[in-house]
């Protein structure tokens, strides 16, 4: 693992296109899961530690904007891994911009609907229009370090140690399951008027943040 990590930091590792697909697929799956866990824990504290709230709009514990943010960080910082401060700063600002304009776009397109609102949350210092706050981008900046110096090198290590066909097959299968869940809840439910994950979970008595 140490040898792989050192080669990773120095950009000395080579991958074929199938390994790249497998690595990126796992990054998308893990980062979306990571975001779900973070929000699940945060909103427990935000709600006064009285009850847990479901997060995201899928059946699986996965939130798409965290996966998008992880891919953005990977794209912008991969060749800058020797400088952790630069990785942190780029992660901090790029995800802050992503979060702000994603929230604003949703708000405009859906006539005032907010998927998150920092105006009504704890630790919301530096809050800008409820779409982004200092706490969130600090967390994303730190998460960027965790992504680039722990998650990505570990996935690369797996890609080198596991049979390539097995690694790629498992990675793509996991991503396919997650994306089908996402497409079902974003598209299929609307076209065929089917119950979404939120509808079903609410019918089971699970709670979502208003």
Q: How far is CA 97 from the centre of its chain?
A: 15
Containing structural domain, residue 55 = 2-203
Given a contact cutoff of 8 angstroms between Cβ atoms, the answer to whether 155 and 8 are in contact is: no
pTM for the whole structure:
0.94
Q: How many domains does the chain have?
A: 1
Q: Provide the sign of the torsion angle of the four alpha carbons 180, 183, 185, 189, taken in this order.
A: negative
- Determine, yes or no, domain membership for 209: no
- Determine, yes or no, domain membership for 73: yes
Mean pLDDT across the stretch 79-90?
A: 97
What whole-number distance in Å separates Cα of residue 91 and Cα of residue 152?
15
Residue 32 backbone phi and psi in degrees, to 5: -65, -40
- Determine, yes or no, domain membership for 152: yes
Q: Provide the sign of the torsion angle of the four alpha carbons 191, 67, 114, 53, taken in this order.
A: positive
State residue 12's pLDDT score.
83
What whole-number distance in Å separates Cα of residue 34 and Cα of residue 139?
12
- Determine, yes or no, domain membership for 34: yes
CA proximity to 102, closest of 79, 126, 72, 123:
72
**Nearest-5° Cα angle at 143, 141 to 147:** 120
Per-residue confidence band for 3, with pLDDT thresholds at 50, 70 and 90: confident
Per-residue confidence band for 7, with pLDDT thresholds at 50, 70 and 90: confident
Inform me whether the pLDDT recorded for 15 exceeds 90.
no
- Determine, yes or no, domain membership for 210: no
Which has the higher per-residue pLDDT, 209 or 139?
A: 139
What whole-number distance in Å separates Cα of residue 116 and Cα of residue 196?
19
- Determine, yes or no, domain membership for 208: no
Inform me whether the pLDDT recorded for 75 exceeds 80.
yes
State residue 135's pLDDT score.
95
The number of residues making up the chain comes to: 210
Q: Mean pLDDT score of the chain, rounded to an integer?
A: 95
Token pair in block for residue 199: 């509808």
What whole-number distance in Å separates Cα of residue 61 and Cα of residue 19?
25
Q: Provide the sign of the torsion angle of the four alpha carbons 50, 44, 64, 16, taken in this order.
A: negative
Residue 113 backbone phi and psi in degrees, to 5: -75, 135
State residue 179's pLDDT score.
97
Residue 148 backbone phi and psi in degrees, to 5: -80, -25
SS3 81: coil
pLDDT tens-digit map of 171-206: 999 999 999 999 999 999 999 999 999 999 999 999
Q: Provide the sign of the torsion angle of the four alpha carbons 5, 9, 13, 18, taken in this order.
A: positive
What whole-number distance in Å separates Cα of residue 108 and Cα of residue 126?
22
Inform me whether the pLDDT recorded for 5 exceeds 90.
no
């Amino acid at each position: 693992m140490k040898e792989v990590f050192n080669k990773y930091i120095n950009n000395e590792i080579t991958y074929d296109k199938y390994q790249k697909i497998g690595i990126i697929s796992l990054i998308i799956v893990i980062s979306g899961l990571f975001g779900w866990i973070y929000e699940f824990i945060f909103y427990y504290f935000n709600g006064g530690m009285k009850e847990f709230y479901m997060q995201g709009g899928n059946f699986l514990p996965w939130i798409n904007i965290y996966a998008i943010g992880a891919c953005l960080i990977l794209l912008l910082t991969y060749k800058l891994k020797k400088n952790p401060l630069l990785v942190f700063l780029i992660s901090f600002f790029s995800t802050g911009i992503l979060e702000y304009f994603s929230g604003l776009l949703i708000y405009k397109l859906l006539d005032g609907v907010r998927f998150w609102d920092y105006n009504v949350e704890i630790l919301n210092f530096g809050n800008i229009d409820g779409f982004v706050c200092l706490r969130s981008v600090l967390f994303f900046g730190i998460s960027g370090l965790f992504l680039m110096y722990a998650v990505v090198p570990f996935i690369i290590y797996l890609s080198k140690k596991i049979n390539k066909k097995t690694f790629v097959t498992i990675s793509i299968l996991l991503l396919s399951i997650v994306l089908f869940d996402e497409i079902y809840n974003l598209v299929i439910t609307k076209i065929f008027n089917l119950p979404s994950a939120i509808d079903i979970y609410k019918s089971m008595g699970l709670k979502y943040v208003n």
